[in-house]
Amino acid sequence: MIPAAFEYFAPKSLDDALRLVERHGDEAKLLAGGQSLIPLMKLRLSVPRYVVDIGRIRSLRSIREEGGWLVIGALSTHHDVESSEMVRLMAPLLAETASEIGDVQVRNRGTIGGSLSHSDPAADYPAAMLALDAQIVAASSSGTRTIHASEFFLDLMTTQLRPGEILTEVRIPRLPERSGSAYRKLHQPASGFALAGAAVRVSLDEVGKIASAAIGITGVAVRPFRASGAEAMLAGKKPSPKLLADASEKVADGVEPLADIHASAAYRRAAASVYARRALEAALARAEGEKG
């Protein structure tokens, strides 16, 4: 289908973009990589009167280290994140997650800021954001504010972003020594979205016990979530196959899984357990110094 008529703007600065979204309010939509918005417009599920293309704002496409934090600009593409040596060094979980998104075309056009703002319940990045204790920075005409990932995702395709705000960057803290991470998911065959996905970060203490564990789950519920019950089971324990199996069984406790044409609620719950265990096994192996 063909989108409905709209007025197009292509600001070259963040200030100009903020003025436009403030002026046009709910009638305007931001366009970054377009991998979410354009299909919705073609189906006329989204009919904006104004489209503000922020793709020319060069300051929003950067990856840098700042005071021990990894800082990723919102317009960095999935390929930028996947291929960045700095991301691979400071947040390998994020690079691995980016490599699992869609296909080559999507990874070369889609952006991290666009994906997080859209907040699809089957998207890959949100689970990693939760597991990495990321911070999300949003700008408006009145200034900037920082939102912790644990507070950012509210409901189905709903985030903490306020009208007139633009997500500008993601900040990820440096991991402790003896840390490992992994992302594993069950792909929807056509789209590559996660029917169930688990992003895991673990840190070991000096005697090999699990000092901390973070498990972000996507694709299962209307929003991504931390598997806090499973994390609590792991903390302070010596890793063992039984411990990982028992903790993995708890990752969807207290959550009402989605059910659709692709998977039943029971199937998603079971898949979350399986893929959480696989991610835990891989993350622990990496924390212990194994490659792969």
Nearest Cα to 79, choosing from 115, 58, 107?
Answer: 107
**pLDDT of res. 292:** 57
Q: Is the model's pLDDT at 60 over the cut of 90?
A: yes
- Predicted confidence (pLDDT) per residue in 106-129, tens digit: 999 999 999 999 999 999 999 999
Cα(6)–Cα(55) distance, integer angstroms:
17
- Predicted confidence (pLDDT) per residue in 176-232, tens digit: 999 999 999 999 988 889 999 999 999 999 999 999 999 999 999 999 999 999 999
Domain layout of the chain by residue ranges: 7-53, 58-173, 179-284
Cα(31)–Cα(101) distance, integer angstroms:
19
Q: Which CATH architecture has domain 58-173?
A: 2-Layer Sandwich (3.30)
Cα(274)–Cα(291) distance, integer angstroms:
21
**pLDDT of res. 191:** 87
CATH of 7-53, one of 3.30.43.10, 1.10.10.410, 3.90.320.10, 3.40.190.10: 3.30.43.10
pTM metric for this prediction: 0.95
Domain 179-284 sits in CATH at 3.30.390.50
> Between 1 and 185, whose confidence is greater?
185
Nearest Cα to 72, choosing from 162, 136, 122?
Answer: 136
- Predicted confidence (pLDDT) per residue in 20-40, tens digit: 999 999 999 999 999 989 999
